[in-house]
Amino acid sequence: MHRLARLSARLGLDLWIKRDDLTGFAMGGNKGRKLEYLIADALASGADTVVGCGSLQSNFVRQLAAACAMAGLSCVAVVMRLPFDAAMGKPDGLAPGSGGNALLDRLFGAELRLVPDGPWEELYDRAEAAALELERGGCRVYRIPIGGSSPLGAYAFAQAAVEVGEEFDAIVTASSSGSTHAGLASAFAGSGTRVIGIACDPEPDLKDEIADLAERLVDLEPSLRVPGELELRQDSVGAGYGVASPEGMAALRLMAHSEGIVLDPIYSAKAFAGLLRLAEAGELRGKVLFWHTGGTPALLAFSEEIVELGAG
Ligand SMILES: *Cc1c(COP(=O)(O)O)cnc(C)c1O
């Protein structure tokens, strides 16, 4: 965790950054924390194979693949290039190709099963079909939730809060499958630290899902508290999940130009764009922590035109 001097001066805040992009595990990111608990659960269940799903540029699948390699588990991931919300349809916008996380998944020995794009529900159905097929073949399968978002995954982020203490007025983080936000919000419930999630997903019921996850986390760990009203901003999603937004790319360039720190177009850039929006609206003050959730390998799966998106 360190201070961002140039951005602090520019925004009139005391702005800090939490470097979960530099956790050191399989090129970093927030999913390593969740996998510490989820892989232990998989091993305790006696599984020999983990089945997961996500987008082709999923950071979760990348860190899952590495964690399975370390634990001696087989990893099968069912992926779509661009899964989407059924009601909203497939978003227009600059989407990543292969390379990036997809390259790393294969390097870590995961079996990627690429299926045609469709709604999230279809992706979950296909992952379940793969799990059943592997079980028929004699594998002992552990089904891992999307993005690692179960009460155990959220527990990892309640634990992460201990590293930060209560010195901040606000923490701003990207939010998508929800356990990062749920864990932090539960850990800081009733404290002087606001936890603000910036949605990278357009789903209208995301906030309810995060609230539900936080309740189930408190069932698992009763020393935590169910947060009151969650703060989730859904105005920086852009055209939809998985595609770059001009506002996010402007934020990504600003972070790179002013601090030499790289964000990713799908999550952390949108989260930082959300932080900039809040700062401009005068909704942030004092000491603020931007939680960098990682994702940088996905940046390298975009074509170079990404650099100019939203410029000028
Ligand atoms: C998964 C992910 C998020 C979102 O975290 P959730 O716990 O799924 O809400 C944010 N940033 C990056 C880089 C991610 O890979």
Give CA separation, 241 vs 78, 244, 257, in Å: 18, 8, 25
Beta strands in the chain (DSSP E): 2-3, 14-19, 49-55, 74-80, 111-114, 141-143, 170-175, 194-199, 231-233, 287-292
What number does the ligand 1 atom closest to the CA of 180 have? Answer: 7
The residue among 77, 78, 30, 96 whose CA lies nearest residue 242 is 96
Catalytically active residues are: 58
Angle at which helices 206-220 and 151-160 cross, to 10°: 80
Any residues with Cβ below 6 Å from ligand 1, and which?
29-31, 59-60, 147, 149, 174-181, 264, 267-268, 293-295
The CA–CA distances, whole Å, from 153 to 34, 127, 159, 160, 170 equal: 4, 19, 10, 11, 22
Contact 174, 197 (CB under 8 A): yes
DSSP secondary structure string for all residues of 65-84: HHHHHHHT-EEEEEEESS-B
pTM: 0.98
Query: Measured between alpha carbons, how far is residue 102 from residues 44, 72, 188, 212 in Å?
Result: 28, 20, 35, 31
What would the pLDDT profile of 241-287 be if each residue is shown by its tens digit? Answer: 999 999 999 999 999 999 999 999 999 999 999 999 999 999 999 99
Only one residue has tokens 């990278």, namely 200
Tell me the per-residue pLDDT of 140-184, one tens digit each, with 9 for 90 and over. Answer: 999 999 999 999 999 999 999 999 999 999 999 999 999 999 999
Do residues 169 and 286 touch, judged by C-beta distance below 8 A? yes
Cα gap 170→19, rounded to integer Å: 16
Q: pLDDT (tens digit, 0 to 9) for every residue of the chain, 312 residues total?
A: 999 999 999 999 999 999 999 999 999 999 999 999 999 999 999 999 999 999 999 999 999 999 999 999 999 999 999 999 999 999 999 999 999 999 999 999 999 999 999 999 999 999 999 999 999 999 999 999 999 999 999 999 999 999 999 999 999 999 999 999 999 999 999 999 999 999 999 999 999 999 999 999 999 999 999 999 999 999 999 999 999 999 999 999 999 999 999 999 999 999 999 999 999 999 999 999 999 999 999 999 999 999 999 897
Residue 210 CA, closest ligand 1 atom number: 9
**Angstrom distance (rounded) from CA 162 to CA 159:** 6
The ligand 1 atom nearest the CA atom of 295: 13
Residue nearest to atom 1 of ligand 1 (CA): 147
Give me 227's structure tokens. 């947060």
